[in-house]
A and B are shown apart, each in its own frame.
Chain A
Amino acid sequence: MKRLFASFLILIGLMGMASAGEIKSSLAPVVPKAAGEAHPEGNEFMRINHMKLMVHDRDDTVLLGDRNVKYSLKECVACHAVMGPDARPVSVKSDQHFCRTCHEFAAVKIDCFQCHNSLPDADLVKKLTMLPQKDRELAAYLKEVTE
């Protein structure tokens, strides 16, 4: 019985590892690709814990005055910017916005952008993506043409 239980636990663990990463189904929301490097923690970890990371860092910054936190909403927004039809990043008002794809799917309200800017900081985007403006325009043009 003990052995059976142990193997059951191992089975759960193995399947947990197998399922880490993307959700493979046509029913899942289409999450836009980010411009920068992938998160070392993995996407599943981020899907589950992103709000904890942000709130934790908010407390560090606001209560302890530490401005050198690991995660910043500004960087999230910069790297996960989604371009609209006019080749400019969309704000949270558009349902194309990165955060809204999942938040709407799960019916979770986003409070962040009542104060924070949902549009990326241009300099930060350049720094993070190293993609010149021209290339982005070209990419948007190609997207428009192919659609």
Chain B
Amino acid sequence: MLSIVYAVLFYVATILLVVGTGMKILKYARTPAPLKIPVSPAPRTRRGVWMRMGREVLFFQSLFKSNRWIWIFGMLFHWGMLLVLLRHLRYFTQPVWWWVELIQPIGVYASFAMVLGLGGLLFRRIFVNRIRYISDPSDYLMLLLIIGIAVTGMGMKFVMPVDIVAIKVFFLGLMRFQINELPMNIGVLLHLGMVAFLMIIFPISKLIHAPGLFFAPSRTQVDNAREFRHLSAWASQLPPLPEGIPKDEKG
């Protein structure tokens, strides 16, 4: 019964996550960026932009330059979460990919880095006055939600083990449109419930910064306005000016 509830919950959450994020990406892609506004110092070639985006995505370069503490906690959290997420691929692949098997133990340690980073970010929101002043309830919600997911996950690893074989059967089943029994364990239910909630609110939360970063014109534009005349797409499609209007204005 509750297995069915969770199965439906995950189908709905997956659809909302994929469609919602897809719609947001489409919206970002269609939003015009008519002006050349790369933040300097900006690369002057396309290749340079790729390098800049690489540094930005992998190492949070601009955050490093602006705030070292947030950078440390952010790096700990994001890289920790990446390893933890990759470790979870074992629940969705059969046979498990060799490199997923290889990083299993690393993912366990990464969970500590993840919680440490999140804890630091939460501490900052609560105890740095000017950060607390600009913090919204949703800022706290995201942090607490991801901390909750991480802590329940670690609880199932270190304190109260659960039947992971049955859990994998449940998720392999979902991917084949069959509903198997989910172990009725409070840790499993809390962990998965929070994950589904996070998936649902992802497209309408601040977490959408993940795909959003790739559409930031101040980072993705090439600084070549001196070499080439910049003409936005809509401007190049304007009809020619009618007779009698001077093309150039002097002065």
Given A19-B183, A23-B181, check contact A12 B94 (CB 8 Å). no
Given A12-B189, A25-B173, A49-B161, check contact A107 B180 (CB 8 Å). no
Q: How far is the CA of A51 from the CA of B158 in the complex (A)?
A: 12
Given A11-B1, A19-B183, check contact A109 B165 (CB 8 Å). no
Say whether A36 faces chain B, with CB atoms less than 8 Å apart: no
Do residues A27 and B173 form an inter-chain contact, with CB atoms below 8 A? Answer: yes
Instruction: Select one of A47, A107, A108 contacting B163, CB under 8 A.
Output: A47
CB distance from B144 to the nearest CB of A (A): 21
Q: Which of A90-138 contact B (CB under 8 A)?
A: 102, 104-109
Do residues A23 and B169 form an inter-chain contact, with CB atoms below 8 A? Answer: yes
Say whether B168 faces chain A, with CB atoms less than 8 Å apart: yes
Say whether A62 faces chain B, with CB atoms less than 8 Å apart: no
Do residues B165 and A106 form an inter-chain contact, with CB atoms below 8 A? Answer: yes
Say whether A1 faces chain B, with CB atoms less than 8 Å apart: no
Do residues A52 and B161 form an inter-chain contact, with CB atoms below 8 A? Answer: yes
Do residues A105 and B161 form an inter-chain contact, with CB atoms below 8 A? Answer: no
Which residues of B sit under 8 angstroms from A105, Cβ to Cβ? 94, 96, 165, 168
Majority-rule SS of A interface residues: helix
Q: How far is the CA of A117 from the CA of B48 in the complex (A)?
A: 57
Do residues A27 and B94 form an inter-chain contact, with CB atoms below 8 A? Answer: yes
Q: Which of A24-52 contact B (CB under 8 A)?
A: 24-25, 27-29, 44, 47-49, 51-52
Instruction: Select one of A15, A48, A107 contacting B1, CB under 8 A.
Output: A15
CB distance from A8 to the nearest CB of B (A): 9
The listed residue with most B CB atoms (<10 A of its CB), out of A11, A24, A25, A44, is A25
Do residues A109 and B163 form an inter-chain contact, with CB atoms below 8 A? Answer: no
Do residues A23 and B180 form an inter-chain contact, with CB atoms below 8 A? Answer: yes
Tally of B interface residues using CB under 8 Å: 30
Q: How far is the CA of A108 from the CA of B168 in the complex (A)?
A: 13
What residue of chain A has the Cβ atom nearest to residue B171's Cβ?
A27
Do residues B94 and A44 form an inter-chain contact, with CB atoms below 8 A? Answer: no
Say whether A16 faces chain B, with CB atoms less than 8 Å apart: yes
Given A107-B104, A109-B104, check contact A47 B165 (CB 8 Å). yes
User: Hey, what's the 0/1 contact readout for B6-18 against A, CB within 8 Å counting as 1?
Assistant: 0000000000000
Do residues B184 and A104 form an inter-chain contact, with CB atoms below 8 A? Answer: no
Q: Categorize the interface residue count of chain A.
A: 20 to 34
Q: How far is the CA of A90 from the CA of B186 in the complex (A)?
A: 38
Which residues of A sit under 8 angstroms from B96, Cβ to Cβ? 104-105, 107
Do residues B169 and A15 form an inter-chain contact, with CB atoms below 8 A? Answer: no
What residue of chain B has the Cβ atom nearest to residue A106's Cβ?
B164
CB distance from B183 to the nearest CB of A (A): 7
Say whether B185 faces chain A, with CB atoms less than 8 Å apart: yes
Do residues A48 and B163 form an inter-chain contact, with CB atoms below 8 A? Answer: yes
Which residues of A sit under 8 angstroms from B1, Cβ to Cβ? 11, 15
Q: How far is the CA of A28 from the CA of B180 in the complex (A)?
A: 10
Do residues B163 and A44 form an inter-chain contact, with CB atoms below 8 A? Answer: yes
Instruction: Select one of A16, A23, A47 contacting B185, CB under 8 A.
Output: A16
Q: How far is the CA of A52 from the CA of B101 in the complex (A)?
A: 22
Instruction: Select one of B3, B95, B162, B172 contacting A48, CB under 8 A.
Output: B162
Say whether B247 faces chain A, with CB atoms less than 8 Å apart: no
Instruction: Select one of B165, B178, B185 contacting A29, CB under 8 A.
Output: B165
Q: Which of B174-224 contact A (CB under 8 A)?
A: 176, 178, 180-181, 183-186, 189
Q: Using a CB–CB distance below 8 Å, which chain A residues touch chain B?
A: 11-13, 15-16, 19, 23-25, 27-29, 44, 47-49, 51-52, 102, 104-109
Beyond A24-B180, A107-B100, A109-B105: 8 further Cβ-contacts under 8 Å? A11-B1, A23-B169, A27-B169, A27-B180, A28-B169, A48-B163, A105-B168, A107-B96
